[in-house]
């Protein structure tokens, strides 16, 4: 099938929104896989009979729905964040994409593990959408179960499986994704069931994954997953020994028929009963320094049991899995440390009588390093309050270190120049050029003063930063674009100016970094308009609820930047601040 964008030679296949499933004489129905056609927003415009049967939805229930929201899930059945959706990424970039295993929801809520292929598709309207094919994960023909029910791998198959395991497991730094890939490599190629038990960093055991083959697809048994009893130190039972790092072994249902010697043995009895496994091969998953868990492969439908001859391959698989999990855990540990470091670099908000004030820091969803986004609020020498928000260029330790230097120097300059935010920022800009080792930075510095009439007056200057947003109690909004100057570190000596505004009673002032409004798909103006509209709709929410909801609703799905956020609210009455 030749699918091209409009104006690129071949006449593209087209589909009508008004005739779901009817594609040029039924060509969509002729596709031997579940097929969906979506428009450029990911809304389903056509389906074939196989997709209706697979997902147990009617055509009327599928067409017009957002395919991502309706179908795509993570491995636990939860809605998948759009920023992690490979299908949407391919759709938005008009590219062809493929993934060997993702999870999708049926109408009854059960999960399907499916491979998918997406390619650009020209709709009859002339706009460009995509054709999505969904099918069960593939396995090599040589390793398929033959009619006698036996599975025998040749040496070439074995080497190919190990090479594929290495490639697929080391290409992700997400532990859950790595486990799913491991299950897809072993079920049904080697077994009917794959079970992974992991030892956490506090030496607790968690049954992280139980997967079976069902109706030609991989299905996760969430009811068999969860916390496990502690590892017994003297138990001779196979799983207990594997979790202590002993050699792999073969087990059967009868292995756990006797009186259990530990809580883990009780859970193993339940596992064999619920799954119907008659034979299992169990091997430890070892990292570079410690045992990370155990992999159990079980057979319930195929009659032949595991034997000792199967164990060398299983051990090769778990060695590769151990290295991949070690890397993934190290990445997650580094990210957690980086996030903790970032949070400790940020200050606690002061208490200002008559004002509500709150701040948030949201780390980048896929970054492993600290960033340069920051906020601050502190008292000045004359008793007024200073507010600041800023962003140092970069996403690494240098940016975080530069952020700490800028914030501390700003406090000193603001203390000596309490009446003029622009004078303090001018001194800071000179310091950035000569003392602080950062390439460039943006920031807003503001000064809050309580006037005799009980109203709060805001003096501020802006050094190349997104403008603050003012939201009144009745939902009117305004970006404070006055007082705007060049960002820090340019070397230019253009004079900076202050701006002044009296804040209305019960109004909310929002200071934020660009991660809240920037998107790879949309212009900055659109992101700022989204922020303004969402803020207006939340104007009467309590300040904490306002802040949490705004961060969720306004932040673009495709933005991988971190966000610093500071909000304050003036009192209800003009005399309440006295």
Q: What's the rounded Cα separation, in Å, for the pair 578 and 575?
A: 6
Q: What does the pLDDT read at residue 214? A: 79
Backbone CA torsion sign across 329, 334, 335, 336: positive
- pLDDT (tens, 9 = 90+) of the chain, 578 residues, equals 333 333 333 333 333 333 433 443 366 787 888 899 999 999 999 998 889 888 888 888 999 999 999 999 887 778 888 888 989 888 888 889 898 888 898 888 778 888 899 999 888 777 888 999 998 876 544 444 443 333 457 777 778 888 888 888 877 777 888 888 888 888 888 999 999 999 887 888 999 999 998 777 888 999 999 999 999 888 899 999 999 988 889 998 888 888 888 899 999 999 999 999 999 999 999 888 889 999 999 998 888 899 888 898 988 898 888 888 888 777 777 666 666 665 566 677 888 898 999 999 887 665 545 567 889 999 999 889 999 999 987 655 566 667 778 888 899 999 988 889 999 999 999 888 877 767 788 999 999 999 988 899 999 999 999 999 999 999 999 999 999 999 998 888 889 999 999 999 999 999 999 989 988 888 889 999 999 999 999 999 999 999 999 998 988 876 767 889 999 999 986 554 44
End-to-end CA distance of the chain: 74
H-only helix segments in 152-217:
155-169, 175-186
Residue 316 CA, distance from chain mean position:
31
- Under CATH, what is the fold of the domain 346-569? Phosphatase 2c; domain 1 (3.60.40)
34-135: CATH superfamily: PAS domain (3.30.450.20)
Q: Is 290 left (phi over 0), alpha (psi -120 to 50) or beta?
A: beta
CATH architecture of 141-334: 2-Layer Sandwich (3.30)
Contact 409, 429 (CB under 8 A): no
Do the first three CATH levels of 34-135 and 346-569 match, i.e. the same topology? no
Dihedral, 533, 539, 542, 547 alpha carbons, nearest 10: 30
Q: What does the pLDDT read at residue 417? A: 87
Instruction: Tell how many helices (H) and how many strands (E) occur in the chain.
Output: 13, 24
Task: Give the residue among 355, 110, 313, 325 at the shortest CA–CA distance from 197.
Answer: 325
Q: What's the rounded Cα separation, in Å, for the pair 218 and 184?
A: 7
Q: What does the pLDDT read at residue 484? A: 94
Collapsing DSSP states into helix, strand and coil, what is residue 361? Answer: strand
Q: What does the pLDDT read at residue 418? A: 84
Hey, how many other C-beta atoms are within 10 angstroms of the C-beta on 86?
15
- Could you write out the DSSP letters of every residue in 406-458? HHHHHHHHHHH-TT-HHHHHHHHHHHHHHT---S-EEEEEEEEEE-TTS-EEE
pTM over 0.75: no
Beta-carbon contacts of residue 493 (< 8 Å; ≥ 6 apart): none
Residue ranges per structural domain of the chain: 34-135, 141-334, 346-569
Contact 29, 19 (CB under 8 A): no
Q: Beta strand pairing status for 373-379 and 356-362?
A: unpaired
Q: Is the peptide bond before 188 cis (omega within 30 degrees of 0)?
A: yes
Task: Give the residue among 268, 325, 322 at the shortest CA–CA distance from 298.
Answer: 268
Long-range pairs of 93-99 with CB within 8 A, sequence gap ≥ 24: 94/5, 94/120, 94/128, 95/120, 96/120
């Amino acid at each position: 099938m030749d699918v091209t964008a409009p104006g690129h030679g071949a006449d593209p296949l087209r589909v009508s929104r008004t005739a779901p499933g009817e594609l040029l004489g039924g060509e969509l129905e002729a596709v031997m896989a579940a097929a969906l056609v979506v428009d450029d927003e990911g809304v389903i415009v056509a389906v074939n009979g196989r997709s209706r049967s697979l997902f147990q939805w009617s055509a009327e229930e599928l067409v017009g729905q957002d395919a991502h929201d309706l179908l795509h899930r993570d491995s636990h059945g939860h809605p998948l964040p759009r920023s992690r959706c490979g299908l949407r990424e391919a759709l938005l970039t008009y590219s062809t994409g493929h993934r060997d295993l993702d999870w999708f929801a049926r109408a009854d809520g059960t999960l399907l593990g499916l491979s998918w292929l997406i390619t650009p598709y020209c709709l009859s309207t002339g706009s460009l959408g995509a054709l999505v094919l969904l099918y069960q994960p593939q396995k090599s023909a040589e390793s398929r179960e033959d009619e006698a029910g036996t599975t025998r791998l040749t040496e070439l198959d074995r080497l190919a499986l190990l090479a594929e395991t290495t490639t697929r497991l080391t290409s992700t730094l997400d532990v859950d994704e790595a486990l799913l890939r491991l299950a897809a490599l072993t079920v049904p190629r080697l077994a009917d069931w794959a079970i992974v038990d992991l030892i956490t960093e506090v030496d607790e055991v968690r049954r992280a994954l139980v997967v079976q083959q069902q109706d030609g697809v991989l299905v996760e048994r969430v009811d068999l997953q969860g916390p496990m009893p502690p590892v017994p130190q003297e138990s001779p039972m196979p799983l207990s020994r594997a979790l202590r790092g002993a050699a792999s072994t073969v087990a059967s249902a009868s292995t756990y028929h006797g009186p259990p010697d530990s809580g883990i043995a009780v859970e193993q009895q339940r596992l064999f009963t619920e799954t119907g496994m008659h034979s299992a091969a169990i091997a430890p998953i070892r990292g570079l320094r410690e045992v990370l868990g155990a992999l159990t492969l079980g057979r319930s439908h195929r009659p032949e049991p595991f034997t000792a001859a199967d164990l060398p391959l299983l051990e090769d698989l778990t060695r590769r899995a151990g290295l991949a999990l070690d890397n993934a855990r190290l990445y997650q540990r580094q990210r957690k440390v980086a996030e903790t470091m970032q949070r400790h670099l940020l200050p606690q908000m002061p208490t200002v009588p008559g004002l509500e004030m709150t701040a948030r820091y949201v780390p980048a969803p896929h970054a492993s390093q600290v960033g340069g986004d920051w906020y601050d609020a502190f008292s000045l020498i004359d008793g007024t309050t200073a507010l600041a928000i800023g962003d140092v260029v970069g996403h690494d330790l240098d940016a975080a270190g530069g952020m700490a230097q800028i914030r501390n120097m700003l406090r000193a300059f603001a203390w000596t120049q309490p009446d003029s935010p622009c004078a303090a920022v001018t001194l800071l800009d000179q310091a950035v050029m000569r003392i602080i080792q950062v390439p460039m930075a943006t920031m807003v510095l503001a000064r809050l003063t309580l006037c005799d009439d009980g109203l709060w007056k805001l003096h501020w200057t802006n050094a190349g930063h997104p403008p603050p947003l003012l939201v009144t109690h009745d939902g009117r909004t305004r970006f404070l674009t006055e007082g705007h100057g060049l960002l820090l570190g340019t070397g230019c000596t253009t004079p900076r100016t202050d701006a002044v505004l009296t804040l209305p009673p019960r109004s909310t002032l929002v200071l934020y970094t660009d991660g809240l409004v920037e998107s790879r798909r949309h212009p900055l103006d659109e992101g700022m308009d989204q922020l303004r509209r969402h803020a207006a709709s939340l104007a009467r929410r309590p300040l904490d609820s306002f802040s949490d909801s705004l961060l969720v609703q306004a932040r673009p799905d495709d933005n991988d930047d971190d966000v610093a956020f500071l909000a304050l609210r003036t009192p209800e009455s003009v005399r309440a601040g006295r």
